[in-house]
Amino acid sequence: MDRLDNTIRPYAWGSTTAIPHLLGTRPTGEPQAEMWMGAHPGAPSRTGRGTLAEVIAADPARELGARTVARFGPRLPFLFKILAAGAPLSLQVHPDLTQAEQGFADEEHRGVPVDAPHRNYKDANHKPELICALTEFDGLCGFRPPAQTADLLDALGVDSLKPYVDLLHAHPEDAALREVLTAILTADREESAHTVAEAAAACDRLGGEHAPYADIAHHHPGDPGVIAAMLLNHVRLQPGEALFLGAGIPHAYLNGLGVEIMANSDNVLRCGLTPKHVDVPELLRVVRFEPGDPGILRPEAAPDGEEVYDTPIDEFRLSRHVLPQGAAAHDLTRDTPQILLCTAGTVRAGEHELTPGQSVFVPASDKVEACGAGTLFRATVIV
């Protein structure tokens, strides 16, 4: 079992205080957006035996277990993070596995450099993800029913939004959403900036359900993604609640601290709220234009006290143990690799005492018990 030394990524949207507060360290004044736990080549966790990527590469069967290697290959299938949003992230979607394989092969065939700013597919994998709130956490997830969005836009009293309002009353709903999103993303940028400014002022004046979009516009003035964001459900998670983001579901994280787990992929197609490349035709091929409830997840209790966040994929499995003082130790031994993360209190995992923000990697089949008084998140796979 290895204690992990993890990299904190300083993305501009990161909170300057949330991760330091969790870790009990002094803020630097710079954004601290994500703490990565895993073996991703971009920032692998460090151990006493080398980086976690090096440790796994040296003996995949020992570290991951035979079943994990047979199912996913000789690499850790997931990336685990602490995410601290102090400003809205880009509005984005992720491809399904077939779309990723096809898109990656196409760009490779066309010789698009993997680091090119207009490249869509960094790898051939899909990127389902799960965000679980540690504090109140605001986000956007999936399309709101079009008639509700029409009412939201109509209340702004912005004449240039009237055509979108009319389209959103059309049927079928998926075609209406597709047409409106296409119109938003292909509109003249100068005209669009005027519309966004008017809409932002109206959102600020109205408040209530319009308030989140006023805040988004404050961070991204003139960006057509502000109007695109209004097509989506606004969600406020309470601590312990989660969202699963499957393929084709447009989403954005707005504010708050959470733990995030995802398949090991960098494939992102952006819809707005970003200066980065937006490939509208490819985006429209990937987005699922299906309105509906975003589906807040709450953990399901197992007999041993484990609380599991149920998702429809196998690359990761997230659960937590809320350990009361004096309770018997919990046996966490599995024949799959695990990362254990403390987020509250003090927890002993094997020989390691963990305080908030500290984590360990547990190789497959290594015996591990957890006890103490605190909250322990557990990331592993399903095989």
d(CA 359, CA 356): 9
**Range 214-219 contact pairs with CB under 8 angstroms and sequence separation of 24 or more:** 215/88, 215/254, 215/255, 216/88, 216/254, 216/273, 219/87, 219/88, 219/273
User: Which three-class secondary structure string do you get for 222-265?
Assistant: CCCHHHHHCCEEEEEECCCCEEEECCCCCEEEEEEEEEEEEECC
Annotated active-site residue in 3, 270, 334, 378: 270
Q: Give the tokens for residue 365.
A: 């089949």
**270 among known catalytic residues:** yes
d(CA 200, CA 171): 28
Angle at which helices 189-206 and 211-219 cross, to 10°: 140
Q: Which of 330, 331, 329, 332 is nearest to 340 (CA)?
A: 332
Q: Give the tokens for residue 263.
A: 């398949």
For the chain, how many residues are written?
383
User: What pairs with residue 235 in β-bridges?
Assistant: 139
- The angle formed by the CA atoms of residues 331, 333 and 337, to the nearest 5 degrees, is 145
DSSP state of 135: S
Complete DSSP assignment for 305-325: S-EEE--S-SS-EEEEEEEPT
- The angle formed by the CA atoms of residues 82, 310 and 47, to the nearest 5 degrees, is 35
Q: Give the tokens for residue 171.
A: 């049927």
Complete DSSP assignment for 316-366: -EEEEEEEPTTPPPEE---SS-EEEEEEEEEEEETTEEE-TT-EEEE-TT-
Active-site residue list: 270
